[in-house]
């Protein structure tokens, strides 16, 4: 979970992949998270969560020429290929 100041997660289990029975995320892990965050925030003023600005609504391409370039590649394919190229140099 998170607050305006911190992000924290609680993991419970065994390091040998043995199933941990009787423990769910809303039970003991949630209690541990709440207790930890209460202590961490004890002397901090309460702050609201920062809110993201609203993203503009996308415009939908209505003409085939707006959706595809001459090679038949659509805009989504181009974006995906560009991201992969930037990350992994695939082209």
pLDDT at 41: 94
Confidence of residue 81 (pLDDT cuts 50, 70, 90): confident
Average model confidence (pLDDT) across the chain: 81
Whole-model pTM above 0.75?
no
Q: Identify whether the C-beta of residue 77 lies closer than 8 Å to the C-beta of residue 68.
A: no
- The contacts of residue 5 (CB under 8 Å, 6+ apart) are 40, 41, 44, 47
Tokens 């769910």 belong to residue: 24
Say what the pLDDT of residue 50 is: 81
Q: What is the mean pLDDT of residues 59-67?
A: 60
The DSSP 8-state label assigned to residue 72 in this structure reads S
- From the CB of residue 32, how many other CB atoms can be counted at a distance below 10 Å? 14
């Amino acid at each position: 979970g998170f607050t305006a100041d911190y992000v924290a997660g609680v993991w419970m289990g065994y390091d040998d992949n043995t199933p941990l029975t009787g423990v769910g995320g809303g039970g003991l892990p949630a209690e541990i998270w709440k207790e930890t965050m209460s202590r961490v925030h004890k002397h901090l003023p309460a702050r609201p969560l920062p809110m993201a600005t609203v993203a503009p609504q996308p415009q939908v391409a209505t003409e085939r020429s707006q959706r595809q370039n001459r090679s038949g590649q659509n805009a989504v394919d181009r974006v995906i290929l560009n991201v992969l190229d930037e990350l992994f140099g695939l082209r």
